[in-house]
Structure 1
Amino acid sequence: MKLDTKGIAILAFIIGLLTFFVFMPSKGVMHVPEAMNVQTLDGEKLNLGSLQGKPYMLTFWSTSCPGCVKEIPVLEALDQKMQSSGFRIIGVAMPYDVPAEIKAMRTQKGMTYTVAHDQSGELTKQFDVRVTPTSFLIGADGNIAARKMGEWDAAELEQKVRDLIKG
């Protein structure tokens, strides 16, 4: 029986990678500090602590991330459905994104939810974001109710948001 070392090496690499992401330590926040700010594309300083009292979603994305771009219509549809509930979506572009490209993407994709740019990388670091998209559902109490790395399934996300709104 011939041993396929190349196949075993690839399998070992995949298992190692999966193990890393499953067991990696998270230094991220469990509660959003009231003094945490982010700059929107429209030049406003948004204090995340001011959002306490209503649930919201903070989603870290990039203009160069295919999964992030694919997820935009899902987030836009959810934002439109949930506007009357007070639920809010804040899309945070990564520090390496170019402001002109973020604005162009917002226009091209018809993004009406709040879009911000973490130019300093402080927010990305505080939330320990390693891959895009990474999203956080934050409850009315300011605690993180869910963290998701990768794209959301539209139905699953909507159900989680409805559960979060109910409390």
Structure 2
Amino acid sequence: MTRLYSLVLCIAAVFLSACSAERAPVSSFVLLDGSKLSTEQLQGKVTLVNFWATSCTTCVAEMPEIVTTYNKYKGQGYETLAVAMSYDPPSYVVNFAQSRQLPFKVAIDNTGAAAHEWGKVQLTPTTFLLNKRGEIVKRYVGPPNFNELHQLIEQLLAQS
């Protein structure tokens, strides 16, 4: 009887954790080319949303790894969105993206609305990994461990 009870508790815990995944906020981003992107448009892809600033030395240091990660998985249903903080001068963001040839989508959060919607992000870098259903699977404050991040991305890409 105790074993059956333990099994039922385990199944319930798995069910509850699967059902309680936090959905990414509904947000709209203005990309550097002037186009708009919403979180709804990201559904169906595993997505990394990275809040960063050109004045953040950790953000600048991790950017090559974010580029490498994007290039590794982009053909498999993976997307990256780098969101520059509202205090970052737009000309700095454009210059950074162009000079580093960032291959993914870059947005500027001019009003700070996106940072607010995503949990009042203040510290950079703050990065969110979303599954294909648009749920937040992992939140990183500071640089992620990229080996662990790659393993998680591969698991999420394998899910239907």
1:65 pairs with 44, 48, 56, which one? Answer: 56
Would the aligned equivalents of 1:76 and 1:112 in 2 still touch at CA under 8 Å? yes
1:98 equivalent to 2:77? Answer no
1:134 corresponds to 2:136: no
Q: Which runs of 5+ in 2 are unaligned?
A: 1-20
Q: Which runs of 4+ in 1 moved over 2 A?
A: none
- Whether the 8 Å contact between 2:47 and 2:130 is mirrored in structure 1 is yes
Structure 2 distance, partners of 1:105, 1:148, is 22
Corresponding position: 1:149 with 2:141: yes
How far residue 153 of structure 1 moved from its aligned partner, in angstroms, is: 2.4
Distance 1:72 1:100 in 2: 18
64, 73, 81: which one aligns with 2:72: 81
What TM-score results when the alignment is normalised by the length of structure 2? Answer: 0.82
CA contact (8 A) 1:72 1:109 kept: no
Residue 113 of structure 1: aligned partner: 104
**3-state SS of paired residue (1:104):** helix
**TM-score normalized by structure 1?**
0.79
Query: Equivalent pairs: percent with the same residue?
Result: 33
The residue aligned with 1:6 is none
Q: Which residue of 2 aligns with 1:159?
A: 151
Quote the Cα distance in structure 1 between the aligned partners of 2:158 and 2:125: 26
Structure 1, unaligned stretches of length 5 or more? 1-28
C-alpha RMSD of the superposition: 1.4
